[in-house]
Amino acid sequence: MTVAPMLGWPEVDESKRMLLEQLKSFAAGEIAPKAKELDETGRFPTEIVRQLSEMGLMGMMVPEQWGGAGMDAVSYAMAMEEVSAACASTGVIMSVNNSLVCAPIEKFGNDAQKRTFLEPLATGRKLGCFALSEPGHGSDPAGLKLAAKRVEGGWRLSGTKNWITNGREADLAIVFANADREKGHKGICAFIVDTKSEGFQVSKLEDKLGITASSTAQLFFDDVFVPEANLLGKEGEGLKVALWTLDGGRIGIASQALGIARCALDASKKFASEREQFGAPIAKLQAIQFHIADMATRLQGARLLTWHAARAKDLGQKYTKEAAMAKLAASEAAMWIATKAIQVHGGYGFTKEYVVERNFRDAKITEIYEGTSEIQRLVVAAQELAEIRGA
């Protein structure tokens, strides 16, 4: 990946360049060599997350005042790509903490919440998860059923959440619950929940196709008490908190997809240069060159869309559509590039000996979580059509 200034793009200043260079060598030297073992065992990469925290990467966009690195979204996208190119499981652990947990507390939280919750999350002393989806509500969170009942001093939460990344390890969860079903989505509230609360249970862990070193948990809330002080944002504005948060999250997942795709492309170039057939490296064959050219072109196109969305965020512009386009393009590019990478590797690519097999399995989830490709198309179409109507 280039970190050099590009035409029309902001300079990557010296401190960011240094961090990205440091991260590049850390990812190559410390993360990538462990990725196969992490994938095979499903072990949570505690030591890597600790080192990422020390580098300021678990709260990258959080202001320094609250323990973060105070960096911009373009740098975050570049860092996410770098980490995910080495290990996509580590990438999503980092992405959830940054985009889905730190970001909404920074945006919607009050000073007391930032002091109590954001600072430990941004410094990496604590890990967060984002509990929106439910067994019956994935793409349609407006209808979520987890109930919030007002009681003296706070709330009691009851119900189930599904597909929660970091759910097994998280110290804190942002939980979305409905306090008034009659009000539809305007009854939804967001809460910051301590996972050590009585009644909070990790009820199931998913056995997955890819990103196996990150946990995907079902969470059960058995009348969990949440103090009033932990209501995040205004009562009834929980869906807005969730959808605002997912706009940023989609830049993170787009960047994760770029990392997976880049790893698959790099492996394919190396393999094609070394593997000989018909008396010469297969990289000499035009058929293989066309695959490499198409892979590189799709990767760079998706990268520019992702950086464009991140840049719009940094400039304070609306970026809902840009983030959806980025995630749609990058996740589909990752799946396509990983498929081509296996083709370039032939039979070897179908074995666990080569990284492209893992890339293929890891890429698939990027088309699903934080909004499926179909949802991204709905978001893009809604925004495009609103522009025609002048909305």
Interface mask (CB under 6 A) for ligand CAA, residues 175-214, using x and -? ----------x-----------------------------
Pick one of 243, 285, 292, 304: the residue that binds ligand CAA (CB under 6 A). Answer: 243
What residue has token string 């959808």? Answer: 243
Distance CA 246, CA 136 (A): 19
Pick one of 87, 164, 193, 226: the residue that binds ligand CAA (CB under 6 A). Answer: 164
Pick one of 60, 96, 174, 288: the residue that binds ligand CAA (CB under 6 A). Answer: 96
385 lies in the site for ligand CAA, by CB under 6 A = no
- In angstroms, how far apart are the furthest CA atoms of the chain? 79
DSSP string, 255-321: HHHHHHHHHHHHHHHHHHHH-EETTEEGGGSHHHHHHHHHHHHHHHHHHHHHHHHHHHHHTT---HH
Cα 271 to Cα 292, 312, 341, distances in angstroms: 11, 37, 10
Contacts 24+ apart (CB under 8 A), 5-8: none
Interface mask (CB under 6 A) for ligand CAA, residues 126-155, using x and -? ----x-xx-----xxxx-------------
370 is catalytic: yes
Segment interacting with ligand CAA (CB under 6 A) among 12-20, 49-57, 194-202, 242-250: 242-250
317 lies in the site for ligand CAA, by CB under 6 A = no
Pick one of 39, 82, 169, 247: the residue that binds ligand CAA (CB under 6 A). Answer: 247
88 lies in the site for ligand CAA, by CB under 6 A = no
| Rounded least distance, CB 307 to ligand CAA, Å | 20
Mutual angle of helices 238-274 and 88-95, in 10-degree steps: 160
Catalytic residue among 370, 374, 384, 387: 370
99 lies in the site for ligand CAA, by CB under 6 A = no
As given in the structure block, the two tokens for residue 306 are 């992702």
Q: Which is nearer to ligand CAA, 211 or 272 (CB)?
A: 211
As given in the structure block, the two tokens for residue 320 are 């809902």
Cα 387 to Cα 326, 328, 381, distances in angstroms: 19, 20, 10
Q: Which is nearer to ligand CAA, 274 or 374 (CB)?
A: 374
Pick one of 99, 113, 160, 165: the residue that binds ligand CAA (CB under 6 A). Answer: 165
Q: Which is nearer to ligand CAA, 98 or 123 (CB)?
A: 98
Distance CA 131, CA 261 (A): 28
Which residues make Cβ contacts (< 8 Å) with residue 133, sequence separation at least 6? Answer: 141, 161, 162, 163, 164
Could you give the residue numbers annotated as active site? 370
